[in-house]
Structure 1
Amino acid sequence: MITEESIEYFVTQAHRYGEAGLMLCSSGNLSWRVGEKALVSGTGSWLPVLTGERVAVCDVVSGLSENGVRPSMESVFHLGVMRERADVNVVLHFQSEYATVVACMKEKPESFNVTLEVPYHVGEIAVIPYYCPGSPELAQAVIDGMREHDAVLMSNHGQVVCGKDFDDVLQRALFFEMACRIIVQSRGRYEVLGKKDVENLKRLRLNSR
């Protein structure tokens, strides 16, 4: 059962992500698995000022809204990631400032591991080509990218991160943005961690789960 308390909590988290500066206006969307259902921000809604009336209650398997609210057009990849990964309960699409700059770069970084937080908290970032928002091609590319990754950079579009809960996702999104800020502000004069150091951090990450 989806309760009013669940919807209020979802709205509070959406506002939290907005306050963190992760999106402008309607540029982001959010989903949260609750049992066999998922709460999804409504199409065209603004996460920073989301209200309960703009939250769709969807069946995770069918993707259909059960409360008459039309979910975000990106709900296909939100629910698709949840179907593919039982460990994922929250999916966030956002467009933070520096990560979106990197998404628009002609030559994307080969590695985002500029600080230890990236391999430890974010993991390897999948980079996918540009596809039209809301398209089946975009949805499938994100789903495919997130089978083995917790973060995806969508070229000329934005970012997607997933995780077990809202804190996990917020941390992942903020460290993703921090890495991109370092990459952009350094004007390419940055150094990434060595392969051995990255592997050690990945092992620490896996052991901490």
Structure 2
Amino acid sequence: MSPETRLREDICLLAKSLFDRGLTGGSSGNISARLEDGSLLVTPTGSSLGRLDPARLSHFSREGRLLSGDPPTKEMPLHTAFYDTRTQTGAVVHLHSCHSVALSMLPDTDPDNVLPPLTPYGIMKLGKVKLLPVFLPGDPAMGEAVRGLAGKRSAVLLANHGPVVAGKDVEAAVYAIEELEETARLALLTRGLSPRLLTQDHIERLVKTFNVEWDA
């Protein structure tokens, strides 16, 4: 099996897992992943992550030209912004996951770091998650907002819309966005209950031990 064929199948398998567990519904959410030659495989526009066909994924050249497959997600500018500003990015995942969206709408959510320090893995896999403003779906300004972060964040939360996470490969990006959703769920479940948070010492040790991007 060629690397491209394997990656096509991995994208569809992971996408179906996200869909089956209710992390994104209908035709919402999109995934992209970079091949060794720098080209991108992208989930098509209007497609359900639960019913993707590996052969119909959009295939883009390094220069952004559609080579084959169905028309891509309208949120390509969001994906390419991560690839262009974070050279280590091998995949980008965007969902409309419920708890993350809910957290994005609350007035006291910290726009510089939306997730409270509840668990080690929330910090290890995500670093600080930036809250971005409300954009219309497909608005190129989403990509410009990500570019404005200059590659310093691997995860953002679009207000009233959903999370976007970049990872070294498609598995890493999926696992990280799952961690974001679970941490958002924990934040909502414990809201107003004065949960015991990780201390500043815990955070500093995690950042140092696991080389977490945290100062940005």
Q: How high is the TM-score relative to the length of structure 2?
A: 0.86
Q: Deviations over 1:61-114 (max 9, x none)?
A: x32211152110111121221122221101000121211110122221455211
- The equivalent of 1:165 in structure 2 is 169
- Please list, as runs of the form range in 1=range in 2, the aligned pairs for 1:2-81 lying within 5 A after superposition: 3-35=4-36, 36-60=38-62, 62-67=63-68, 69-81=70-82
Per-residue deviation, 1:8: 2.7
8 Å contact kept, 1:63–1:76: no
1:184 has 2:185 as partner = no
Q: SS at the partner of 1:113? A: coil
The one-letter code of the counterpart of 1:40 is V
Q: SS at the partner of 2:47? A: coil
Note closer, same or farther for the CA distance 1:122–1:24 as it changes in structure 2 (3 Å cut).
same
Match of 2:209 among 194, 201, 204: 204
Distance 1:53 1:180 in 2: 34
8 Å contact kept, 1:146–1:152: no
Distance 1:179 1:22 in 2: 13
Per-residue deviation, 1:125: 0.7
Per-residue deviation, 1:145: 3.8
- The equivalent of 1:107 in structure 2 is 108
Per-residue deviation, 1:167: 2.5
Distance 2:17 2:64 in 1: 25
1:150 has 2:151 as partner = no
8 Å contact kept, 1:58–1:64: yes
The one-letter code of the counterpart of 1:174 is E
8 Å contact kept, 1:45–1:54: no
8 Å contact kept, 1:81–1:146: no
- The equivalent of 2:99 in structure 1 is 98
Q: How many residues align?
A: 206
Deviates more, 1:46-55 or 1:158-167: 46-55
1:127 has 2:127 as partner = no
Per-residue deviation, 1:37: 0.5
Distance 2:185 2:150 in 1: 23
The one-letter code of the counterpart of 1:51 is D
8 Å contact kept, 1:92–1:162: yes
Distance 2:120 2:5 in 1: 39
List gaps (5 residues or longer) in structure 2: none
% same residue = 26
Q: How high is the TM-score relative to the length of structure 1?
A: 0.89
Note closer, same or farther for the CA distance 1:143–1:54 as it changes in structure 2 (3 Å cut).
farther
The one-letter code of the counterpart of 2:211 is L
Whose helix proportion is higher, 1 or 2?
A: 1
The one-letter code of the counterpart of 2:159 is S
- The equivalent of 1:193 in structure 2 is 198
8 Å contact kept, 2:131–2:159: yes
Question: What is the Cα-based RMSD across aligned positions, in Å?
Answer: 2.1
